Amino acid sequence: MMNALWPRFLKAAYRKEPISSFIVIVGAVDAVIGGVGERWSLLSFGLMMIMLAIALRWWQSQRRDTELAEQPVTHFLPPSSSRPPLPMMTVSKRQSPR
């Protein structure tokens, strides 16, 4: 179950934020190589890269939220008072043949 969801999650995350996702991948590879090879400097560098990518993604999401809040609301339709009202729909009852 998890194996089927993992590639879908990675694709969605990579499409959403490609720069920070790339930094996470590079950091994870460095961390794995450093951990397996007992190269502690490479492991710590990889972990720092992952933390940098997480901070970058958080900063971008905060900036995007403030930009959305500052944008004025644009209305594409004129106000309803400038249009004539539509006639009411009525259902006519048909008499059934006897």
- Rounded alpha-carbon distances, angstroms, from residue 86 to 20, 22, 79: 52, 54, 14
Q: How far is CA 1 from CA 6, 32, 78, 93, in A?
A: 9, 24, 50, 56
Block means of pLDDT (10 residues each) for the chain, 98 residues, are: 68 73 85 86 89 86 72 67 68 66
Tokens, residue 23: 């930094």
**What's the pLDDT at 12?**
72
pLDDT at position 85, please? Answer: 67
Radius of gyration, CA atoms only, the chain: 28
The pLDDT of residue 98 is 59
Q: What is the pTM of this model?
A: 0.53
Question: What residue segments make up the domains of the chain, in order of their start?
Answer: 17-64
The pLDDT of residue 61 is: 79
